[in-house]
Amino acid sequence: MAVYTSLSAAELSDLLSQYDVGELVAFSPISAGIENSNYAVTTSAGEYVLTLFEHHAPDEVRNFVRLSRHLGSKNLCVPSPVDDAEGVWLHGLKNKPAILCQRFAGSHPKQLSAAQCEAIGRELAEFHLASRDLPDARQDERGYDWWQSIAPDLSADLNDDDKALLADELAFQQSQRPQWCQLPHGWIHADLFHDNALFNGDELTAILDLYNACEGAWLYDLAIVANDWCAEPDGSVDQARFNALVGGYSSVRPLSAEERLHWNLVLRGAALRFWLSRLLAARMAKSRSEELPAHKQPTEYRDRLRWHRAHSLPEG
């Protein structure tokens, strides 16, 4: 389940009455994602997406939108909230911060192609470069310190083999912390899975969900993409898609020698991060007597981590 706050037509119509977007025609929940509640909204004036933030305070949302507006001013294809009749874009709905954005054309890619991986690589590099002059990037709430602090608690949910795997990987990442700190840093998307992008065929039309954007290593952001866009069901990596992704990225921002040297380290770190976050999401879902969607299971990233520990990818 990806919608945690239910809305009625009357509640949504009341919110829309504050905008110049016409009358509500239809709305439906959007199943992608596991953190926020999203609705596809059709009005007499057009197509929109309503997002209710389940875990973020209004000030955090303002920071996300500061980034999206900055990137939009540089012609990147990112959503930005619609102002209401009073010029206000941030609202409250059922005690949650809420924004309304225009809906982009396109759909989430399902059978990922090398051309799509190349396109997302190029756009991610543009994202990194375009955000360099935006100060005060927010701290990564799911970064290295979080890995180390949350893992002992989540380890209680694992079998003995997985506990040993987690402990060993945490020790390895801790030993490599100085290498992480030497990598180029800046704003990162931090959650650019393929269900956070829209395409028409092989043409990228939008990058979505900047709500985890924060400060981090640019290579780590690329590794998050690689671990999703270039992955096979058994945890391995499709080399053609990986080459296309890295080639697209490097055509805009060539990787440094330091980055090329530490690909495996960062791919492992990216896999660890999402194994942990999905373990936490699974625990939270269980507390609500729910289950995560089949495509958001923690074991996917456990297996990805195991694969990266056993293999070193070429630079692409």
DSSP state of 154: H
Contact call for residues 208 and 199 (beta carbons, < 8 A): no
Q: Please give the pLDDT value at position 60.
A: 86
Task: Supply the angle between the helices 218-229 and 239-252 in degrees, to the nearest 10.
Answer: 150
For the question of whether the overall pTM of this predicted structure is more than 0.85, the answer is yes
* pLDDT tens readout for residues 230-279: 999 899 999 999 999 999 999 999 999 999 999 999 999 999 999 999 99
Contact partners, residue 17, CB within 8 Å, separation at least 6: none
Structural domains of the chain sorted by starting position, each given as residue range(s) with its CATH number in brackets: 9-102 (3.30.200.20), 114-310 (3.90.1200.10)
Contact call for residues 267 and 227 (beta carbons, < 8 A): yes
* Nearest-angstrom CA–CA distance, 81 and 123: 21
Residue 131 amino acid letter: S
* pLDDT tens readout for residues 83-130: 999 999 999 999 999 999 999 999 999 899 999 999 999 999 999 999
* Nearest-angstrom CA–CA distance, 228 and 133: 28
* Nearest-angstrom CA–CA distance, 224 and 240: 17
For 29, phi then psi, to 5°, come to -70, 150
**Residue carrying the six token digits 């899975």:** 193
